[in-house]
Each structure stands twice: as structure tokens, then as C-alpha cells.
Amino acid sequence: MARLFDRVLAYGPRVSLYDLQEAHLHVLDRNEDGTAARKHAERLQDPETIRSAKAIRPPGGGLKVDEWKQATVVSADNVVRYLAEFQIGEDDLNAMLANIAVVPAYEHMFVEARCIGPGMLAGASAFGWSVKRENDANGGWLMTAELVLEWRKGNPIGPIAMLHWRLDERGRCVADETSKPLTQAQFPESPDLPGALGNLCESFLMMADGATGVLLMTLGMMHCKNVQTSVMKPEVKQSQRHQRRHGNPLTRYHVLDVRPVTRALDTDGDAKRDGIGAALHRCRGHFKTFRPDAPLFGKLTGQYWWNAHQRGDRRNGAIKAAYRVHPPTGDGVGVVYEGRLAELLPTSGTAEEISSDRSAHAKAAHDAIQDQLAAALEQAGLTPLRPAPHEPQYDLAWQRGNELWIAEVKSTTASNEIRQVRAAIGQVLHYRSELGTADRVVRAAIATEHPVNDATLIEACRTASIVLTSPPEFGHFIRAHSDRAQDSAFIDETN
């Protein structure tokens, strides 16, 4: 069966004023506005109107076929059904998207789906996004996506808009103060009649707003190992027939099985009973990344759909509060740390180039240590925190009673141990001074990649009441100091 992607390659997307006006007729018909539709149809039958309207189009050479052929095609039909089943509103969708990684898994993708339900996406029958990913010089990624709509099979129209997103280092959309992803939109324009194409395309994009949510949800689910992706190969004879007619064989495409997510939200969050919004806050479905140095269950690595709340203790409250993009903690220190997105995408370059990039290795080691410490804190029943924008930029923090712990994380080698730990000592002393109050005791820790060997550094940290720790010791360190904090709290209460 031919997908929208195959039809775009076969017929090419069109975006003249006539194409857009013809699409507008479909919208009027779908809205059952008979009088307006009849008048509009009569105008489109006038030969002069047709000629002039077809001449008004954006400049450019049209579809870059060679570039499109490199795209990985993904069917989002199951994502559309999933969103429709739970009747997810805009606020619920924004809440979900604020906490998932949506960086495209491939440099060039085409994400498409058939429309479900009357009036969906301006009454179109199918839509597709041509998605590109590139590295951002400031960290993270830049993502662009061009929208193609199809009202009548074999007549794709577009791109009607190009949307731009900036993604942070964890692959999440950078959001504004309302927690909505920041986007910029560009619309096709004709130099002969400025505004004619853009105004119509903008109205179609507004009516097709649900297509954006489908795209982002699809990209997010593709990173989840327990959301299966199957490759569908077209039937050989159909593909050969299509190639004879159009010059290209039918494209194989990926299909997402979203049933694990549906089961999680329904079973753990009672989504069908209470609605998807309540389920999301109760279930807090999100993605977690497990690396080879800290695998899930001792053997599994990669990104998973994770329901962290299934632990019947007081942490549930903190986890619910953490569903916002920048959730504050109880006394205004930090926001909940949710891990970093390291090793999400295949690394470009040869193995020799990658191994020689010391700064990249140091950053990856730093992120891995930080995630391991956060995981150890969660296992101990504590909530790991990262700094709010206005706070000193420590790596991790957590609270136990009236104690606030601040940790600085350092990747270390035999040659840089002294330099790294010296820098960390200065940092944690500054953090301790900045965050200490009459009602809060601030304690400091330095987490290093390897145990510190230099005796003078060990003595300097002991004298300054700074705890040195490393990944093999994280559990013991947290338990020991948690027990001490509990003993201190008991003594305070009995005095």
C-alpha cells in the first residue's frame, strides 16, 4: 500500500494559491457550509482564476527528491488512535510533552498518519511531517519540520508551514513560562502577491494544530524501548507496479506499537476512568536512560517508558509535583532532577575520532556519575534536585530534615585529580555559603569518577567538612549520612 510519503515522491507536493483555495473548498464542505462552498466552487471553475491562482506560488526548485529518499518513514497512525482514544486536550498534551525527549532519532525523517474523526486537521485525510535534526552550537539540537496535508488522495499540498524548535541537552523542547514548547513558524510566500499564501497556510496550520502534538509524541515514543517499532515492507508486486508508474519503489516504513503506554496509563493511572490528565499526574509516565555503567536490572540499557510512582510511600507527593517543567521544592531550593539525555543518538565520526575527543568523554563521564548519584538517592527514598536558574549552579542537591546536601560532580583521571578536586572544593564552599540560612544546615559532598588518592586533598576535605565519595560508595555514603540526620532530628525533638 502506498503511503503519503510515496505519493509525495510520485506527484510532488504543491503549494500554489489554487491548491490552497481548492483545499479551502474541502474545509467548507466538511463544515457543511453549503452556500459558501457553492460560491467558492464556482470561482474555482473560472479559467482565468485558475490560471492566475496557479501562477502564484513560492519561488524555489520544488521537492529535493534525493534528500527525501534518505528519510526514515514512520507511520503515526497508532499514535493518532491513542490520542483520540483518551480524548487528550491541549493542556494534557502540553503536560505530557514537557517531560519527554523528542529529538529525532534520525537526521531526516518523514512522520505521517491518516486523520481520524470528523473535522480533524482541517478536514484533511492524511498529513505528514518532513523532519530534520542538526546539532546546536550552544548545546542540544535544532529541529525543523515541514507539514504536508492531503485532502484528496494523490494530491498532497505543502509544505504549508515550517516549524522550528530548539531542544535542550536532554532532547526536550525548550518551553516558555506556560510550559508550552517554543516554536517558530514560517509560511510559503509569493513575491507576486505577498501574504496571499501565508495567510491561508497559517489558517490551515491553526486548524491542523493536533498534527504538531502527534509529531512530538511520535518522536518521544520512538526513544522508548518498551514501545516496539516494527518495520513494514511493501508487497513486492505492488512495489514493482508503483515503480513502473512513478519511477520509485514503495517505501518500507516503521510502525509504533503504543500499547505498553496505553496499558501503563490505564492500569496504573486509571486513565479511562478519570481521564488522561489525572492519569498523567498519577502515573507520571516519562523516559529514563540507562547506560552500560548503570544498567537497569544489571543488564538493560537504553531509554524506557518509566512509571516511577509505584512505591506506596511519601515520594509520590514529590513525584506528582515534579510533573511541571520547573517544579519547585518545598522550601524553594532546587527543582527535581530527572536525568540527562546522554548517548541518545548514534555518534557520528570514526571510533578513533570519538575516542580522541577527551572533552566529550569527560562530559559523558560527568553525566553518568551524576545520574548514578541521583539513582542512589531515589533508591534511598530521597529526591535529587538540580539548581533553579537563580541559584548557584551546583550539580545535585537533596534534603533530609533540616539538612540540605550540595554535591559537585567531577570526572577524574590520575593526571587531573588534583586540579578537578581543588576546583570542586572551592565550588562547594561557595554553594554552602550562598545557600545556608538560620533554619537550614548546608552540607557539601564531592562525587568523583574514581576514589581520590591524594592524601592532602583527602585531609583538606576532612578539615572543611566536605565528604568525598565515588560511584561504588554512593549507597553507603547516603545511608550513613541519612542515619546521622535521623539521629540528629531525634535528639532535637527530645531536647
Identify the pLDDT of residue 461: 95
Identify the domain containing residue 72 by its residue range: 4-16+56-260
Residue 231 lies in a domain: yes
Residue 272 lies in a domain: no
Residue 361 lies in a domain: yes
In the numeric block, which cell numbers belong to residue 186? 514560517
* Residues 94 and 172 grouped into a single domain: yes
In which residue are the cell numbers 497559517 written? 202
pLDDT surpasses 90 at 119: no
User: Which one has a higher pLDDT value, 163 or 308?
Assistant: 163
- d(CA 129, CA 112) in angstroms, rounded, equals 6
Identify the pLDDT of residue 308: 34
pLDDT surpasses 60 at 126: yes
In the predicted model, what is the mean pLDDT of residues 121-142? 86
Identify the pLDDT of residue 278: 45
Residue 440: strand pairing partners: 437
Identify the pLDDT of residue 121: 63
* Residues 115 and 238 grouped into a single domain: yes
In the numeric block, which cell numbers belong to residue 257? 506499537
In the predicted model, what is the mean pLDDT of residues 112-122? 69
Residue 270 lies in a domain: no
359 within 8 A of 413, measured Cβ to Cβ: no
In the predicted model, what is the mean pLDDT of residues 411-415? 90
- d(CA 229, CA 42) in angstroms, rounded, equals 47
Identify the pLDDT of residue 317: 32
Residue 67 lies in a domain: yes
Q: What is the CA radius of gyration of the chain?
A: 27
In the predicted model, what is the mean pLDDT of residues 73-99? 75
Which of 142-151, 338-347, 404-413, 425-434 bottoms out in mean pLDDT, i.e. has the lowest?
Answer: 338-347
User: Please, which pLDDT band fits residue 62 given cuts at 50, 70 and 90?
Assistant: low
Other Cβ atoms less than 10 A from the Cβ of 154: the count is 9
pLDDT surpasses 50 at 347: no
Sign of the C-alpha dihedral computed for residues 178, 80, 131 and 307 taken in this order:
positive
417 within 8 A of 452, measured Cβ to Cβ: yes
Other Cβ atoms less than 10 A from the Cβ of 164: the count is 13
Residue 328: strand pairing partners: 335
User: Which one has a higher pLDDT value, 422 or 64?
Assistant: 422
User: Which one has a higher pLDDT value, 159 or 280?
Assistant: 159
- d(CA 296, CA 304) in angstroms, rounded, equals 10
User: Please, which pLDDT band fits residue 465 given cuts at 50, 70 and 90?
Assistant: very high
In Å, what is the CA distance from 278 to each residue of 155, 281, 311? Answer: 40, 5, 18
* Residues 109 and 203 grouped into a single domain: yes
Domain edge (last residue) among 215, 239, 260: 260
Identify the pLDDT of residue 23: 83
pLDDT surpasses 50 at 298: yes
Identify the pLDDT of residue 494: 36
Residue 296: strand pairing partners: 300
First to last CA, the chain: 78
* CATH code assigned at 484: 3.40.1350.10
In the chain, % of residues over pLDDT 90: 21
Query: Each residue of 170-207: pLDDT tens digit?
Result: 788 887 766 677 788 899 998 888 888 988 888 888 88
* Residues 81 and 203 grouped into a single domain: yes
- d(CA 2, CA 20) in angstroms, rounded, equals 24
* Residues 362 and 462 grouped into a single domain: yes
Other Cβ atoms less than 10 A from the Cβ of 10: the count is 16
Residue 44, SS3 per DSSP: helix
- d(CA 105, CA 344) in angstroms, rounded, equals 8
- d(CA 377, CA 400) in angstroms, rounded, equals 11
pTM more than 0.85: no
In the predicted model, what is the mean pLDDT of residues 138-144? 89
Query: Each residue of 26-37: pLDDT tens digit?
Result: 777 666 666 777
pLDDT surpasses 80 at 277: no
* Residues 199 and 341 grouped into a single domain: no
- d(CA 40, CA 317) in angstroms, rounded, equals 56
Phi–psi pair at 103, nearest 5 degrees: -65, 130
* Residues 79 and 207 grouped into a single domain: yes
Closest CA to 3 of 235, 244, 223: 235
Identify the pLDDT of residue 73: 93
93 within 8 A of 213, measured Cβ to Cβ: yes
- d(CA 167, CA 312) in angstroms, rounded, equals 34
Which of 165-179, 238-252, 411-425 bottoms out in mean pLDDT, i.e. has the lowest?
Answer: 165-179
Identify the pLDDT of residue 233: 86
pLDDT surpasses 90 at 163: yes
Identify the pLDDT of residue 331: 53
* Residues 341 and 199 grouped into a single domain: no
Identify the pLDDT of residue 462: 94
* Residues 476 and 337 grouped into a single domain: yes
Provide the mean pLDDT of the chain: 75
* Residues 256 and 330 grouped into a single domain: no
Domain edge (last residue) among 209, 242, 260: 260
Identify the pLDDT of residue 45: 82
**123 DSSP assignment:** G
In the predicted model, what is the mean pLDDT of residues 103-117? 86
Domain edge (last residue) among 220, 244, 260: 260
User: Which one has a higher pLDDT value, 160 or 311?
Assistant: 160
Query: Each residue of 353-366: pLDDT tens digit?
Result: 334 445 656 777 88
Query: Each residue of 445-463: pLDDT tens digit?
Result: 999 999 999 999 999 999 9
Q: How many domains does the chain have?
A: 2
* Residues 246 and 332 grouped into a single domain: no
* Residues 459 and 342 grouped into a single domain: yes
H or E stretch at 186: strand 183-186
In the numeric block, which cell numbers belong to residue 94? 502540553
Residue 21 lies in a domain: no
In Å, what is the CA distance from 95 to each residue of 180, 268, 328, 338? Answer: 8, 18, 16, 15
In the chain, % of residues over pLDDT 70: 69
- d(CA 461, CA 480) in angstroms, rounded, equals 17
User: Please, which pLDDT band fits residue 391 given cuts at 50, 70 and 90?
Assistant: confident
3-state helix, strand, coil in the chain (%, to 5): 40, 20, 35
